[in-house]
Amino acid sequence: MAVRHCMHKNHTHLVRGGTTGLLEKASIWEAELMQQATQDLAPLCAQLQNDATLRVMLNLLMPELSLQSQAIKLQYNAGGGGCFPMHFDTDAAVDTRRVTAIWYLNPGWQPGHGGELRLYPFPQPAVDIAPLNDRLVLFSSTDMLHRVLPSSRERCCFTIWLSEGLRRRAGASVAAEEQAAARAELQRALSRTQPLDGEEAWRLILHPHIRHHAAKLRHCAEWEQSVRESHPQGPQLQVALDTFTAEVAVVARALAPLLPALAAGLPPEHMPRRSWF
């Protein structure tokens, strides 16, 4: 694979104390298709980067997304246990990525090779998706918690992030005011000293401002294990684990009235379930 020579190691970004550090992932390499060096070595990558077919079709099927651009990475897992920790690809307040698409390039993949994509459509059970050759998987960049399980074989894929355009950014100030009001309302609801249960609790757990944090609490043991599996031993890994432990403790204190309902399992069956495509 000629493009392998312009690949670089993938890193987890560690944000702590106002600074960002990099924690290298074991066995994971990547190349951005928009870079000229990548396109010079692999002209087909330039064609893929500029192909708008997927974006156009998604806009036709889901016009509420208003997708305007895409960024694509070729990712190579060298095997030997290479994997990704649990994470959300982005937050709606950080950037305009809305859809993640993964296109697998793994002829001959067999059960037992590992490298499955594990999705967590919280509060429903996790789903494992095998990285079969020519399979395309799409999910929400902002709302779908996911990880990649350890791989014992080489594993390749294109990861495609599709983003909204400037039209959606125009209402950013109004959205910020609405979010501030929503946070204040949530803070009042969570200030109670008595636990909440049933539908009242789950309405809060599934609120967009809380759902990510509740998912981290629900899956905290596996989340920590995924961080250990994805990175080599060393001081930076310990920093990541310490940061994660501190974050979980803060979330547990903030969501204390919801913990009994969260520990009990799923929301009442009559509550509507959201699709995370």
**In this structure, are residues 100 and 159 in contact, taking their beta carbons and an 8 Å threshold?**
yes
- pLDDT (0 to 100) of residue 175: 62
- Which of the pair, 274 or 253, is modelled with greater confidence? 253
Average pLDDT over every residue of 2-6: 60
* Secondary structure letter of residue 267 according to DSSP: P
Average pLDDT over residues 206-233: 95
**pLDDT value, residue 209:** 87
For residue 31, the model assigns a pLDDT of 93
CA distance 143 to 105: 25
d(CA 22, CA 13): 5
Average pLDDT, the chain: 89
- pLDDT, residue 276, reads 58
- Given a cut of 80, is residue 150 above it in pLDDT? yes
Is 21 a residue whose pLDDT tops 70?
Answer: yes
pLDDT digits (tens, 9 = 90+) for 73-121: 999 999 999 999 999 999 988 899 999 999 999 999 999 999 999 999 9
Q: How many Cβ atoms sit within 10 Å of the Cβ of residue 155?
A: 25
Give the chain's domains with CATH numbers.
Answer: 2-167 (2.60.120.620), 171-270 (no CATH)
User: How many other C-beta atoms are found inside a 10 Å radius of the C-beta of residue 106?
Assistant: 21
Output the CA–CA distances (angstroms, integers) from residue 274 to 42, 144, 177, 205, 211, in the order listed. 40, 11, 25, 13, 12
Per-residue buried b or exposed e for 34-72, using 16+ beta carbons within 10 Å of the residue's own CB: eeeebbebbeebeebbeeeebbeebbeeeeebebbebeb
Tell me the C-alpha distance between 52 and 122, whole Å. Answer: 31
CB 151 within 8 A of CB 79: yes
Report yes or no: 240 and 23 within 8 Å, Cβ to Cβ: yes
Which pLDDT value is given to residue 186?
A: 82
Rounded to a whole number of angstroms, the distance between the first and last alpha carbons of the chain is 33
Q: Does position 223 have pLDDT exceeding 90, yes or no?
A: yes
- pLDDT the model gives residue 120: 97
Report the candidate in 206, 225, 213, 204 with the shortest Cα–Cα distance to residue 85. 225
| pLDDT given for residue 251 in this prediction | 96
* Residue 5 pLDDT grade (very low, low, confident, very high; cuts 50, 70, 90): low
**What is the arithmetic mean of pLDDT over 39-57?**
89
Contacts 24+ apart (CB under 8 A), 233-237: 236/14, 236/21, 236/22, 236/23, 236/24, 237/23
CA angle 229, 33, 31 (to 5 degrees): 35
pLDDT recorded at residue 17: 64
